[in-house]
A and B are shown apart, each in its own frame.
Chain A
Amino acid sequence: MNEDFVPHRSRLWLYALATLVIGFLVIPVVIVIPLSFSASSLLEFPPRAYSLRWYEALLGSVEWRDAAWMSLQVSVLTTIVATPLGTAAAYGLHLGGFRATGVLRMLVLAPLLVPVILTAVGIFYVFAMLGLNNTLFGLVIAHAMLSLPFVVVSVSAGLRSYDMAQECVARSLGASWPRAFWAITLPQIRLPVLSGALLAFISSFDEVIVSFFISGGEYSTLPRRMFNALRDQIEPTIAAISTILVVLSVGTVVLLEISRRPARRP
C-alpha cells in the first residue's frame, strides 16, 4: 500500500518522464568517458577501437600540464583563503546580532547574483591598473571572493543546527573564547566547514569567465586553456581532460553526500 493511496502504477508516466530528464542530465556527462579512450580522432560513438593516445597526448603536452598545475595551485590557495575567512564571517554573522546582519547576509551572496561577466570585466579593469592581471595572487584573491558565498552558506547552515550553549559552557568553565571555539564548536561544525571548503575548491577549479579575463599565457588555468582549445577544434584531448574533470566532480558529489549524511536527524 502506497502511503498516499496512489498506486505506483498510476505514477508510471511521472517516473518515465523524470527518468528521461535524468538521462538528459547524465548522458552528456558520461559520454565523454568512452570518447576519451577512442583510438580515432573522429569523435564517433561508440568508438571503433580503444587506446590511451589522448591521455598520452595530454601528459606529453607542457601547456596542458602547466595549466593543470596552475589550476591546482589557484584552487588550493583559494580554498585556504576562503575557508577560514568564510567560516569566521559565518560565525560573526551568526552571533553578532548586528543591526545590518540581514543586509550583510545578502551582500555575501552578491558574487552569485552579480552577472559573472560584469564581475570579470570589473576585476580585469581594476587589475589592469594595479598590474595584477596574469598573476597567481590576482587569480587567488578573485576566486576567493567568488567562492566565499559557498563557505558562508554552508557554515551558516551548520551553525544553525549547532547548540551554541555548549561553547558558552566551555567558556564559563574557564576556557578562553578561541579555545572554546577551537575545541568545542569547530569539531562539531567540521562537516559543513569541509563541504564549504570542497565547494570553494571545485568552484575555483571550474571557474572560466573571470579566469578568461585575468589570466593568460603561462598563468592560464585549465578551464582557460580549454576555452581556447574548444574555440579552435573539438579534438579528443579535451575528452580526456573532461573525463578527469568528470571523475573529479563525481568524487566531489560523493564526498559531499558522505559529509552530509551524519548531520541528518533520524
Chain B
Amino acid sequence: MTAEAVADRLNAAGIRADARREKSALAALTAPSFVILGLMLFIPVGWLFWLSFIEDGAFSLENYTRMVVEPAYRSIFLTTLELSVLVTVLSVLLGYPVAYMIAMLPPRAASITLTLVLVPFWTAILVRTYAWLVLLQRRGVVNSVLMSWGIIDEPLQLVHNFTGTAIGMLHIMIPFLVLPLYANMRAIDRDYVRAAASLGASPVTAFFKVYLPLSIPGLAAGTVMVFIICLGFYITPQFLGGGRVTTISMKIQQNVATYFNWGAASSLGVVLFLSTILIFWGFSRLFPLRRITEVGGS
C-alpha cells in the first residue's frame, strides 16, 4: 500500500467519523422536542390507551362493549358524525369559491382578502363562540334584523341547538379549508386553463376539466383537516348546543369530570383518535395530500 493510499484511507475514516459526530450532534438538537412530545403527549395518551382496557384492576373490554350496546353512545357517535359531515360539506361548498376568488385577484387585493380570512382564523375560539351567542340568541342581532326587514314575525331558535352548533363550527372550519386550497391554487399554472380555452373549451368546461382536478390535492388536504377537527369539537357544541348536542369530546369530558370514569373517557378518546388516524390514512391513500403540514397559514 502506498503512502498516499494510507493517507486517503485515514482521511476517509476521519471524514466518516466527522460525519457521524455531526449526525449525533443533529440528533441531540432534535431530541429535546421529542422528549417534551413524549412526556406531554405520547406517554399521557398511551397511558389512557392502557387504562381503557382495565376495569377493576383486570383486563376488560367493558369500556368498548358499552359503546356498542348503549343507545346513548350510539346517538353521541351519530350526532358527532352528522355535525362533522354537514360542516365539512358546507365548508367545501362555501370555502372553494373564497379560495378561488383570492387566487384570481391581483396580488394586493388577494393579500387583503386573505387577511380577512386569517383574522377570524387567529381569533380565540371562545371569542367567536361568544360572538355567535350574541348574534344568534332569541333577541340577538340576526333575529332583530330579520324581523325588522319583515322576513320573519317570530324570532327563530338559532342557538342552543344543532343549528347554532353547526353555524359556529362552520365559522371556525372554513379558513381551515381555504388556506391549504388557496396555497394549492396559487401554484396552479394558469397556462393550462388558457390552453384549454384556446382549444375551444368553454370557461365552465375548462374549469371542471382542467382547473378543478389541479386543485384536488389542496381541496383534499383541507377537507380531511376539516373533517378530523370536526370530529373532536368540544367548545362550540358545549356553548352553542345548549345541552341538546353531545359530541364525543363532550362525553369524554363528562366521564372524567362528573363520573371520574377514566376508563370510559379513555376508550372514547381511543376510538376518536383511531378514527382520526384511519380517515387521515384513507385520504392520503386516495389523494396526494399536498403539503398538509403547511396548514395554518404557514
Contacts and interface: CB of A to CB of B under 8 A. Distances in A.
Q: Which of B44, B171, B272, B277 has the most CB of A within 10 A?
A: B44
A141 B239 contact: no
Interface string A139-153: 001101100101011
A59 interface: no
A249 B37 contact: no
Contact of B262 (A25, A108, A125, A250): A125
Nearest to A124: B256
A5 B197 contact: yes
Mostly helix, strand, loop or mixed at chain B's interface?
A: helix
Contacts of B288: none
A3 interface: yes
B123 A246 contact: yes
A44 B142 CA distance: 11
A245 B232 contact: no
Contacts of B94: 17, 21, 24
- Name the residue in B36, B141, B234 with the highest tally of chain A Cβ atoms < 10 Å from its Cβ: B36
Contacts, number: 271
A113 B289 CA distance: 15
A18 B127 contact: no
B73 interface: no
A173 to B, nearest CB: 17
Given A88-B32, A95-B26, A125-B44, A109 B293 contact: yes
A213 B206 CA distance: 52
Contact of A117 (B115, B121, B175, B234): B234
Contacts of B14: none
A32 interface: yes
B130 A234 contact: yes
Contact of A145 (B23, B37, B101, B197): B37
Contacts of B144: 44-45
Given A89-B34, A230-B130, A14 B269 contact: no
B124 A148 contact: no
Contacts of A119: 40-41, 44-45
A92 B37 contact: no
B63 to A, nearest CB: 14
Nearest to A130: B39
B120 A121 contact: no
Interface string A231-266: 100100011011001100110111011000000000
Given A113-B228, A245-B124, 4 more contacts: A3-B194, A15-B101, A148-B36, A154-B298
Closest 9 pairs between A and B when the two form their complex, measured CB to CB: A122-B44, A92-B30, A115-B232, A145-B40, A118-B269, A89-B33, A92-B29, A28-B131, A18-B101
12 contacts: A15-B101, A24-B171, A25-B174, A28-B135, A29-B123, A44-B144, A116-B249, A122-B44, A126-B44, A199-B296, A223-B124, A246-B127
